[in-house]
Amino acid sequence: MSAPRHTPTSHSRQRGLAMVEFAISAPVLLLLLFATVEFANFMIEYSMLSDAVRNATRYVAGAALAGDSGVLQQGGPWNTLVSQGQNLAVYGNVGGAGTALLPALAVSQITITGDPTSNNISTTATYPYQSLFGGAIPDFMGGSIATNFTLTISTTMRAL
């Protein structure tokens, strides 16, 4: 009688196959995970910036008219109001105290203008979005997907 030949069992073959499948699918799953986290961060920052711009516009529009004249303020009072609106958009308060609501958001990135013919107040924010993962997400094919871009949000309201 000859000795039985030793052949790999079905269990050990399955384990090897599972390792190969994991090695193939892991980069795709990681890319999807990174993209999901990055998109969620983008949406949070977009929402915060949009709310800040809207609040600043509402604040300036509520105080922009000089008394009961129906005319926009001019000169020093207007400049003070614009400065307070910019601080509100960046810091969440008109005094400009504390830390910025978003990283790298500065007062210089907020523009508030008033149109004296229509009494419309416009606020525009230009914000350089910063990715959680640096300037790019690796695509596992030797390249990368750029994640740095500029968000521009604008809101217009009529002065009350």
Query: Which pLDDT tens digit goes with each residue over 45-56?
Result: 999 999 999 999
Query: Which pLDDT tens digit goes with each residue over 62-114?
Result: 988 877 777 888 888 999 999 999 999 999 999 999 999 999 899 999 999 99
**Burial track 52-68 (b if 16+ CB lie within 10 A, e otherwise):** bbebbbbbbbebbbeee
Which of the 8 DSSP states describes residue 155?
E
